Structure 1
Amino acid sequence: MGEGKGYGKVILFNEHFVVYGIPCIVSSIDRYTTCRVERTHGSGWIVEDLRPSTPGYKEDKLEQQKDSINRILAAMNIEPRDFCLKITFGGNLVAASGIGASAASCVALARALSDEFNLNLNDDRINEIAYEGEKAYHGSPSGVDNAAATYGGVLWFIRGNPPTIERLRLAGSVEILMADTGIVADTSKVVASVRERMNREKEKFDKIFAQARELAYEAREALLSMDLKKVGELMIENHRLLQEIGVSSRDLDRLVEIALDAGALGAKMTGGGWGGNIVALVPGEDLQEKVAQAIEKEGYKVLKTKIW
């Protein structure tokens, strides 16, 4: 039996922009997906998905999950012909949009297979394999989600071959919270929508993307110096840019508004958009709890966590 684990993630700055080579800042969170693989009689593979989830998420993503598993097996040159692989997903990361659920499952599966077949793969190779699995969910993924799921911590990420992945070591941990719209979104469709609009409105999008690039470097310095007021201001500005490229939604905007009204230093959508989650910067357990209660009062589910 082989076992593996992959972290959930929160994109702090520049989802979507990262697809086009603009720096992104992402962090793992203290929730994870586990995977267990066992060889049994038969051939092929079967999957049991025991992850907690947003209603409808696992059903909507089932065909993508099957494709992802096949891609990971192919990338690892594992052909279950003389045996059947039983794949079981679990853990405490809720399977939902915007929290890195697919990447966490890809990393967990790659690690479990490496363990079961004694491949002793290092993190860099696990990350590469997970990226292949992510293609089933996102079409042409940036690679940022699987990087966070693999390496952990706060990462500075620039898409490339190979990508730039740098650990940003903060002076201490900082409380955040994530709030779920309850809406399951198809990231590949959102990415395609951005590309279509960018082709139609090139001059407008060039200006927005230039602002996003500058913002990333400001956010990097603010995080490293622990200037949390500045980090919060930049999160709000990043959300505005994401609104301008058409990837936010009424529910996401509403959650951002509730968080800011309750005292969050900053808030923005996180992940693919059109649904999924927001992230709010709420340093200190008292503020975290206050903002969480304000959001839960409106009927939304909240995840309280930290970045470090």
Structure 2
Amino acid sequence: MATSKDERSHQGQNGVIFVSAPGKVILHGEHAVVYGKTALATSLNLRTFLRLKPTADGKVTLRLPDIDLNQTWELNSLQETFSDLLGKDVKDCNPPTKEQIEKLKTVDGYHEEDGTKGMALIAFVYLYLSITGSKKLEGCNALVVSQLPTGAGLGSSAAFSVCLAASLLRKVGAISVCGDSGLTTSDLELINKWAFEGERLIHGNPSGIDNSVSVFGGALRFKNKPQVSITPLDKMPQLRILLINTKVPRSTKELVAGVREKLDRYPSIINPVLEAVDNLAITCELVLKEMASAQTGDQMTLMMQLEELVDMNQHFLSILGVSHPSLQQICLTTSQYGLHSKLTGAGGGGCAFTLIRPDTIIKTIDAIDAKMRKCGYEAWETCLGGVGVVCHRSREDLEKFEAPADIYSDSDSDSD
């Protein structure tokens, strides 16, 4: 079925759609958030990019070369097998039933032993059918490439879900054309709802903070008790960081359980630590707001406050038992250059970030980077507090976001 002129107005030339969405870091509140305390999360200037290209061969293809996923389905087969997912109002965003999830697991290419990779495949199929099935299914080729490492606690799966939701909603004309003003609030909310369903399929019971940061960008305050509350910060300064991936594997489930055991064993000690982390996150939010509007002369004083908060939180996380020798090594190494670091995410390995002062010279960053790589770690200099999901209008726009060349190298369109 040919795409109508009205629908094409929501897409690029020849119907090709390009979108991107950022990863995230937790500034403060890891683990304490489980107990109803405040967490602050911010977008990361490392992004996932998706190109959605229509095809006329009656096939649907998903390619994620970063995780070695390349799967093609026959459109007619999907339509027959999952007819119960089709024909719904795209704004009526509901999770799949248990029966539908079990049926999705029979789709070609899914293998339970693939873990998150397999669930990403299922999330694609579900969102593709549920969103585009609100019109009429068409063949397509979805290519996803990312600047984000997978499995490092940086929100790579959320960025994937956000890109997928945004591209499919744009394909069916459910979100507005991206002009200079960008997406509307209602557009972003709709993208976020569908992206959360993708995250639920991939992770089971996510908090919603990862996809929310990826959609809206900037920084968010998050609490899950007495009810889930996600509040964007009005102002967020762009902060330079060195992001360091130890590549040390860890189990989030085991780390969370370890904190619970400590709390049960030493409630009079651990409860005050959790309360202190809550106050620390609240204080950081106030400093960030002040920093976003402060005069240049006040920036260094506020940066020093952020550094103190980073140091305190790292110590609190060590008390909770979720640090790791690799993370302590990062903190020690960067402190030798006058910089301050903490783990981000579950801990036990994974990633840490280092705040970079405005007056830090390139030679210092290069020296730290070299030491990190000697340890077998990966390091990137990037920024916090960047924009959320973007529907790109041109190749120049993609290049501005430093998109990998693969995302447009074999496309038949570069611009709207």
Whether TM exceeds 0.5 here: the answer is: yes
* Aligned residue among 178, 187, 209 for 1:144: 209
Question: How far 1:297 sits from its partner (Å)?
Answer: 2.1
Matches within 5 A, 1:153-172: 153-159=218-224, 163-170=229-236, 172=237
User: Which structure features the higher share of strand residues?
Assistant: 1
TM-score (norm 1): 0.83
Pairs aligned (count)? 300
Q: Which residue of 2 aligns with 1:290?
A: 364
Q: Which residue of 2 aligns with 1:279?
A: 353
Question: How far 1:183 sits from its partner (Å)?
Answer: 2.9
> Could you report, residue by residue, the CA deviation over 1:241-261 in whole angstroms, capped at 9, with x for unpaired residues?
222333322212211221122
> Could you report, residue by residue, the CA deviation over 1:255-308 in whole angstroms, capped at 9, with x for unpaired residues?
1221122211x2100123222210111112634651452242242321112234
Distance 1:294 1:114, change over 3 A: same
Percent sequence identity is: 25
How much is the aligned-residue C-alpha RMSD, in angstroms?
3.1
CA distance in 1, matches of 2:260, 2:173: 41
**Counterpart check, 1:103 vs 2:162:** no
Matches within 5 A, 1:248-263: 248-263=323-338
CA distance in 2, matches of 1:255, 1:80: 51
Structure 1: state its 5+ residue gaps.
Answer: 54-58
Distance 1:298 1:217, change over 3 A: closer
> Could you report, residue by residue, the CA deviation over 1:73-121 in whole angstroms, capped at 9, with x for unpaired residues?
5764849996555331114334350322111111111111112222216
Does the Cα contact within 8 Å between 1:259 and 1:291 map onto a contact in 2? no
Matches within 5 A, 1:76-115: 76=131, 78=133, 83-115=138-170
Distance 1:165 1:212, change over 3 A: same
Q: Which residue of 2 aligns with 1:305?
A: 382
Distance 1:79 1:241, change over 3 A: farther
Question: How far 1:189 sits from its partner (Å)?
Answer: 4.9
CA distance in 1, matches of 2:136, 2:268: 53
> Could you report, residue by residue, the CA deviation over 1:21-71 in whole angstroms, capped at 9, with x for unpaired residues?
32212221222101123454446x542113499xxxxx7741242244355
Q: 4+ residue stretches of structure 1 with deviation over 6 A?
A: none
Q: Which amino acid aligns with 1:294?
A: I
- Which of structures 1 and 2 has the bigger CA Rg? 2
Distance 1:129 1:187, change over 3 A: farther
CA distance in 2, matches of 1:204, 1:132: 38
Q: Which residue of 1 aligns with 2:20?
A: 5
Does the Cα contact within 8 Å between 1:3 and 1:111 map onto a contact in 2? no
Does the Cα contact within 8 Å between 1:28 and 1:152 map onto a contact in 2? yes
Does the Cα contact within 8 Å between 2:209 and 2:230 map onto a contact in 1? no
CA distance in 1, matches of 2:265, 2:196: 29
- Larger deviation, residues 80-89 vs 14-23: 80-89
Q: Which residue of 1 aligns with 2:319?
A: 244
Q: Which amino acid aligns with 1:301?
A: E
Question: How far 1:162 sits from its partner (Å)?
Answer: 5.3
Q: Which amino acid aligns with 2:29?
A: N
Q: Which residue of 2 aligns with 1:14?
A: 29
Aligned-partner SS, 1:142: coil
Does the Cα contact within 8 Å between 1:23 and 1:216 map onto a contact in 2? yes
Aligned-partner SS, 1:122: helix
Q: Which amino acid aligns with 1:5?
A: S
CA distance in 1, matches of 2:132, 2:320: 40
Aligned-partner SS, 1:286: coil
Aligned-partner SS, 1:242: helix
Q: Which amino acid aligns with 1:147?
A: S
Q: Which residue of 2 aligns with 1:268?
A: 342
CA distance in 1, matches of 2:122, 2:274: 32
Aligned-partner SS, 1:225: helix
**Counterpart check, 1:28 vs 2:43:** yes
CA distance in 1, matches of 2:363, 2:199: 34
